[in-house]
Structure 1
Amino acid sequence: MSQENSTAISTGMYLVKLLAAYGVDTVFGIPGVHTIELYRGLAGSGIRHVTPRHEQGAGFMADGYARASGRPGVCFIISGPGMTNILTAMGQAYGESVPMLVISTVNAHGRMGSGAGWLHELPDQRGLTAGVTAFSRTIHRSEELAGAVAEAFAIFEGARPRPVHLELPIDVMLAPAGHLPVPERPARGARPAPDPMAIKAAAELLAGARAPLILAGGGAVRARDLPALAEALDAPVVMTTNARGILPPQHPLAVTLSASMPATRGLIAGADVLLAIGTELGPTDYDMYEDGGLSIPGTLIRADIDPRQARRGHPPAVVLPGCAALTATALRAALQDRTPVHGADATGATRAAQAQAGLRALPPEVRGDLALLEQVRAALPGALIVGDSTQAVYAGNMGFSASLPGGYFNSATGFGTLGYALPAAIGAALVEDRPVVALSGDGGLQFTMAEMTSATEAGVRVILLLFDNQGYGEIKSAMRQQNVPPLGVDILTPDLAAIARACGWSVVTVDAPDALAEALSAAEDAPGCTMIRYTDRLRQAFQARD
């Protein structure tokens, strides 16, 4: 432990030292009058500060950073409106199990919640965060801070990772903390390993399976031994949206067709033993149309870091609480000498191919958008694709195959926010040494398009693939399908290309598949950020190719 003896070290400065000790290298935030003391410590700390143009952008950037790096995204947020602005991003991170540390200020003791009308005063700031955090805490004394930060990192490293909120009353933030020790090497938590007896029970079930199946979710995206486990079992792997890339494109056991579709549901219903690993079996992945058609008659094994989640919904025969990566490794070791027991009908590759054939049953416009995404993957092998709630993303969630684990994620499942893609791509680009593509529509982009200036300022390289249909096209179609007159969906869309150029971006408009490939390749080599704009004309060209 190192210890600062100077009373000139405030609690705000001490916080920055703690963050540095835990390996934090980036903070997202907008300085304000109540957070100035945090910035006194940040200057010269070696921690990079990125300034978004809105606190929602800060939260989305932290989300993208966390997914790309595997480390928590950290935000400095001002009291009051700063906290209300970031709540949507915290809700998205909570729903997707993304680690995020939100540090805010709050009015001083004697002022907070007083109702007297102090600047940025809320009746109960922590109450706002209760539903979107693993925990929220007010630091009443400087001596409480180190323990609270340690507890936050214990959540990030050893439990289901979700946002944590710590708030510093202004008087505490300014209080002296030079007497407090800074751990040189903070005790770090190990990921929880599954119980050996439970592994043995699960392995025995899988070893005897004639038609095994793996249902993989985003919690398994860093389970490196999962492909080898699938191959040892000769088990198809159904990957949810956030799990795409665990098995690469063309892998014979890969199933990317959504589990909401009949062909994949048939595969699931025909399995005698199923391993659900790192997936909550949630409706937006398994019952998108809310028809209740998912059936799991086989023996279900659930592997989840959250033991409560493992018991929600479909009842399991065996529960494996613990880290998905450690679980996959342990099962692979337990099954290393296993010879697949083929059923009378088909091998795992044949069963996977039968499910994947269901892609042909998707509507033509969905298949066209999938072809567009495949063009992106072909032009930029290994690219990270970050999506908003937009047409290409909806199609991608139905069946797109990412090149690498964690190479495709978006906000169209779970909480389902708009405006996510651009700031999340910025956060990811800060840590990725590969192309980062943001998929957005013109409606969603207008939620956070001010972050185009943040990208330029931060010096990152982002390729924004923008579908410009002058409004909320998906909702317009849904209204028509339900015989509701389209209202509020044909919005005034400004000249987004001109705005992008004003923010220092390069801009190109494409209307043919070959032109898209050329634009993507050129954007990869460009020094800054690029907007590639397309309209229905390009979508129709891909549909015609299908």
Structure 2
Amino acid sequence: MTTIGEALVAQLSERGVDCVFGIPGVHTIELYRGLATSGIRHITPRHEQGAGFMADGYARVSGKPGVAFVITGPGLTNTLTAMGQARADSVPMLVVSGVNTLPSLGQGQGHLHELPDQRALARTVVLVSERVETADELAPMLARVFAPFSSGRPGPTHLEIPLDVAGTPYTAEPQARSETAPPSPSANQIAEAAALLSQSKAPLILAGGGARRAGAALRRLAEKLGAPVVQTVNARGIMFEHPLGVPASPSLQAVRSLIAQSDVVLAVGTELGPTDYDMYATGTMPQMQTMIRVDLCAEQLARHPAKLSIQGDATSAMDALNAVIDGSAAPDGAKRAAKARREAFEEIGPEMRVLCDVLAEVRTTVRGAIMVGDSAQPIYAGNLYYDHDRPGGWFNAATGFGALGYGIPAAIGAAVAAPDTPVICIAGDGGAQFSLPELMCAVKENLSICFMIWNNHGYQEIATSMQDAGVSVVGCDPTPPDFAAVAQSCDLPFWRCGPEPDAVAEALRAATDTGGPTLIEIQAQPYLRQ
């Protein structure tokens, strides 16, 4: 007899799921019945939030949905933070949870892990939340929670299976599965956009996270137009060392000036959110003369008025534009991009420039690495100005939802997705303490990750903000652990160095020679307390 839980695992496998991040519990035992023989790899985090962040990192690198198995109640609530981060960054993630028995739902009888309405809670964050109550519902519900991953702007979805349903026989008839394709760009709109871009004297491209897998097509278009390409945080790497690349935040005045001086702006896969475009909270957005938007999501397109809004995925739209634009490149595109790069790097100030030099040294030392970050000073600096050498290889939680504790587990998910690629995690000592136990997961799986802890003994960014506001600094100095002792307890090779670029590079060279997970503590200058 095949149970509904076993059928779920089998149907996940049929959909290409090859890894699940989860912590089993009494409410999910039946979901694990078929897992051992399914061929799906199971990774056990040390906390359900870690499971969600691992699924996030896995999805960003693999391009496939990250899947987490969690128990009802605290398992789901612990995962909500990670689901919020995935929603903010349009990351495909499926969270499968248990829930109490059908007759008990909503009764408030005090069952183990009981919530008043678990799906209502999930729906505050996810795109779709469904419940399987019978065998016949399994395949249709799976189709519903997978649909957003291919038909529009992705994000987290949720499927729950009650305790008294998961172990019952799967009696449903096999169903043909149909894939939902993303919307195709309108040919008329492509022609209109091509006309505007071809007539432009000073075109510009804004590339967001939705463009990170369209790099080759986007570069061809930029070269045809002679258009500088400004890359938000999640698009870094698609224009590495390209003369038209501007790997700098559009919140910087130098980049805003470049945008304002452009007569046609093509915004591709970017929500135009303030954490990218107004991180200094001025209440203003960069001024644009004529904007063309390309995005998968119709709702997103409606949020910002544009001369032309094209619904479709970035690669299809870029390919379509390349097919109809012959190429009459604006002659000064590279010059405009170089000026913006130069002025933006100057604008970020000496302290941030030093941190950018550290990042550049890390990139040079370990080429083609996936660099995953938490909210830490070097990550803040890199989000302002940093050019990565791998498309999709620079991502962090210091923008958008901004969840602390993201870096360590997300790096684990990234390493699972790309086992032959070096992964570097940069976390601050404060953020690292949110998820230090996940280091043991990296050790158990023997993942090639170098965890770099920027230890400035506190929450420097918050302390600085409090000082700037004239508020006495309180609560920003959580005592960090002895990271050497942490490494020893986890059986991690350990190095300690100063914050100078050459010192960091020397420690990193030694660490990456080991081939397994390692830990480097970078002893940075503690912030000045009042």
TM-score scaled by length of structure 2: 0.96
* Equivalent residue number for residue 378 of structure 1: 364
Query: 2:293 is aligned with what amino acid?
Result: R
* Aligned residues of 1:419 and 1:448 also touching (Cα < 8 A): yes
* Equivalent residue number for residue 208 of structure 2: 217
CA RMSD of aligned residues (A): 1.4
* Equivalent residue number for residue 488 of structure 1: 475
SS in 1 for 2:31: helix
Deviations 1:105-155 (A, max 9, x none): 101111122100011110010111112111111112121110111122221
* Equivalent residue number for residue 320 of structure 1: 310
* Equivalent residue number for residue 479 of structure 1: 466
Equivalence map 1:373-412=2 (5 Å)? 373-412=359-398
Find out whether 1:339 has 2:328 as its counterpart: yes
Deviation (angstroms), 1:292: 3.1
Deviation (angstroms), 1:182: 6.7
* Aligned residues of 1:513 and 1:538 also touching (Cα < 8 A): no
CA 455–182 in structure 1, closer or farther in 2 if over 3 Å, else same? farther
* Aligned residues of 1:510 and 1:538 also touching (Cα < 8 A): no
Deviating beyond 4 angstroms after TM superposition, the runs of 4 or more aligned structure 1 residues are none
* Aligned residues of 1:208 and 1:341 also touching (Cα < 8 A): no
CA distance in 1, matches of 2:172, 2:87: 35
Equivalence map 1:139-288=2 (5 Å)? 139-181=132-174, 186-223=177-214, 224-248=216-240, 250-288=241-279
Query: 1:163 is aligned with what amino acid?
Result: P
**Gaps spanning 5+ residues in structure 1: where?**
1-7, 540-546
CA 341–515 in structure 1, closer or farther in 2 if over 3 Å, else same? closer
* Equivalent residue number for residue 543 of structure 1: none
* Equivalent residue number for residue 544 of structure 1: none
SS in 2 for 1:174: coil
SS in 2 for 1:123: coil
Equivalence map 1:519-538=2 (5 Å)? 519-536=507-524
* Equivalent residue number for residue 357 of structure 1: 342
SS in 2 for 1:296: coil
* Equivalent residue number for residue 4 of structure 1: none
SS in 2 for 1:455: helix
SS in 2 for 1:132: coil
Query: 1:305 is aligned with what amino acid?
Result: L
Query: 1:15 is aligned with what amino acid?
Result: L
* Aligned residues of 2:372 and 2:407 also touching (Cα < 8 A): yes
Query: 1:112 is aligned with what amino acid?
Result: L
Deviation (angstroms), 1:537: 5.3
Deviation (angstroms), 1:519: 1.9
CA distance in 2, matches of 1:154, 1:197: 27
Query: 1:530 is aligned with what amino acid?
Result: T
Deviates more, 1:514-523 or 1:469-478: 514-523
Deviates more, 1:429-438 or 1:88-97: 429-438
**422, 430, 452: which one pairs with 1:443?**
430
SS in 2 for 1:110: helix
Query: 2:313 is aligned with what amino acid?
Result: C
Equivalence map 1:84-163=2 (5 Å)? 84-163=77-156
CA distance in 2, matches of 1:531, 1:208: 53
* Equivalent residue number for residue 58 of structure 1: 51
SS in 2 for 1:46: coil
Query: 2:320 is aligned with what amino acid?
Result: A
Deviates more, 1:124-133 or 1:278-287: 124-133
* Equivalent residue number for residue 32 of structure 1: 25
**Gaps spanning 5+ residues in structure 2: where?**
none
* Aligned residues of 2:425 and 2:452 also touching (Cα < 8 A): yes
Deviation (angstroms), 1:496: 2.0
CA distance in 2, matches of 1:244, 1:526: 28
Deviations 1:260-292 (A, max 9, x none): 111100000011011000000110000111113
CA distance in 2, matches of 1:513, 1:390: 16
* Aligned residues of 1:258 and 1:286 also touching (Cα < 8 A): yes
Deviation (angstroms), 1:192: 2.5
CA distance in 2, matches of 1:475, 1:518: 30
Equivalence map 1:282-321=2 (5 Å)? 282-313=273-304, 315-321=305-311
> How many pairs are equivalent?
523
